Amino acid sequence: MRNGWIRGGAAWVGVGMIWGGVGETVAAVESPAAPAQSLILFIGDGVDDHQLTIARNYLFGNVAAADGFSFDRFDARAAAVVQTVSEQDGVTPVYVGDSASGGTAIAAGTVTSRGRIATTARTDRDVPTVLELAQAAGLRTGLVTTSSITDATPASFVAHIALRYCEGPGDMAGMRGGVRTGCPDDVSTAGGPGSIAEQIAASGVDVLLGGGTKPFSQPTASGETPLQAARAAGYSVVEDRAGLLGADAKRPLLGLFGPGTLPVEWAAQGGAQAEPVRVSATGEIVYPEAQTCVPNPDFGNRPTLEEMTRKAIELLGADGARFFLMVESASIDKQAHARQACGQIGETQALDRSVQAALDFAETHPETALLVASDHGHAAQIVPIPSMFAALPPMLGPQLPPGRVAVVKMPRGGVMGVSYGSNQGYAEEHTGTQTPVFGQGPGTESVRGLIRQADLFDVMRRALGLEVSPPQP
């Protein structure tokens, strides 16, 4: 507990605060008569309609829903408004979010500022997450990601800290780009909950799979690392594919398959990158050479996201237990930052295959609810190659897409132009667009029309029949 929430029994009780959104209290909702047995939430980090269309075009062609992603065929769908607020006053809207504010909105139903993990903007109060409520109600819980398990999205479901960069004990007094990135009020020796890795080690989450050996190996002031603390708490620790596939449900499982974000499944052949479109000395428009997507040789013998998802479902659902599981394909976002179209496409395919794993489970467990959502939009967009204005008179000047462009060879012929135009610096930016939501199974009927991103918390809470005590005066 810290700054406002006390966990007691099967509920969280608010102490003098409002939870759920900007200046509003979420009303208590009666649980459905027959709640879902389990709920699996998928988050495609950085996914918006453009990112989905880029991958769908490549993987399936320009097709209808019946021939595309597994989740294209879900019964329920909506668009989510991404809401973020200023850290300075906790109220003023900010129109582009990050994975921390987006993750917190989904996980805890609270609109917060960028960088915060399940805490309120300005006031720094902890807010309960759907995973914690599921734990309190006796459900098994799990987090699966292709990033470090301490990264912003998975952390938002299990940790409470002022800044996402405080991943390990050694990060608590950090600096990034000359700006303080530490969390002095959260240091365990100062009475705080500790770094994200320390909080995860003490969380009791049944299955934790992703990267993260680096933050888990940093010692605390006492000399103990979060990895040692996790083992002392009873976790079985695995670090490779064989260890994962051989794990059983007798002990909670912590799988760490790399120091941080895991290598992506696909890459551009020969390391090709997006480049600016240029004009030759003779005035001709020159596009970058078309690139071919191939399996990433650096992926190695790690488990795929699909394999991690299937194993997590197997362990959490053993003996017919109820469970909550969050699965994140993290590098759709990270590859968009790096202007790597092939990497984005491969990681979107990994998301789709993981959703299919959940659908396979739901076929024999129809009481399972499935949701696919996103934390924010991203920069990549499809542009015409060549420009539709290429035939304009020379006096109007060449018509060039801004930023850098990846020209991707398509399996069914032709090329697709993917333009990155949000930043001229080392990385592309997030964007402020709405994000897609897909739902199937009990409790997902309200996923329709235009909703708030933070409404997904209440969708999940209701679907599982979880209760949260309203704030106390």
DSSP 8-class letter at 466? -
Residues with Cβ within 8 Å of 372's Cβ and at least 6 positions away in sequence, in order, are 41, 42, 43, 44, 71, 74, 351, 355, 436, 437, 438, 439
d(CA 50, CA 232): 45
Q: Which of the residues 31, 70, 86, 99 is marked catalytic? A: 99
Burial class (CB in 10 A: 0-12, 13-18, 19+), 389: exposed
Evaluate whether 93 touches 464 at the Cβ level (below 8 Å).
no
17 pLDDT tier (thresholds 50, 70, 90): very low
CA-to-CA separations, 424 to 103, 365, 383, in angstroms, rounded? 27, 48, 18
pLDDT per residue over 255-300, tens digit each?
A: 999 999 999 999 999 999 999 999 888 888 899 999 999 999 999 9
pLDDT per residue over 198-245, tens digit each?
A: 999 999 999 999 999 999 999 999 999 999 999 999 999 999 999 999
pLDDT of residue 399: 80
Instruction: Please compute Rg for the chain using Cα positions.
Output: 22
Residue 5's Cβ-side half-sphere holds a number of Cα atoms within 13 Å equal to: 26
Q: What is the mean pLDDT of residues 349-354?
A: 98
**Bigger pLDDT: 419 vs 392:** 419
**Bigger pLDDT: 319 vs 399:** 319
Residue 304: both structure tokens together: 């795929």
Cα angle for residues 416, 419, 449 (degrees, 5° grid): 90
12 pLDDT tier (thresholds 50, 70, 90): very low
Residue type, 21: G
Q: Which of 210, 264, 260 is nearest to 237 (CA)?
A: 210
d(CA 196, CA 199): 5
Compute how many other C-beta atoms are within 10 angstroms of the C-beta atom of residue 109. Answer: 26
In the chain, the domains with their CATH numbers are 5-273+295-379+426-464 (3.40.720.10)
Residues with Cβ within 8 Å of 389's Cβ and at least 6 positions away in sequence, in order, are 399
pLDDT of residue 179: 67
Q: Is the pLDDT of residue 368 over 60?
A: yes
**Bigger pLDDT: 155 vs 470:** 155
pLDDT per residue over 263-273, tens digit each?
A: 999 999 999 99
99 is catalytic: yes
Q: E strand or H helix at 352, and its extent?
A: helix 341-364
Evaluate whether 101 touches 115 at the Cβ level (below 8 Å).
yes
pLDDT of residue 182: 87
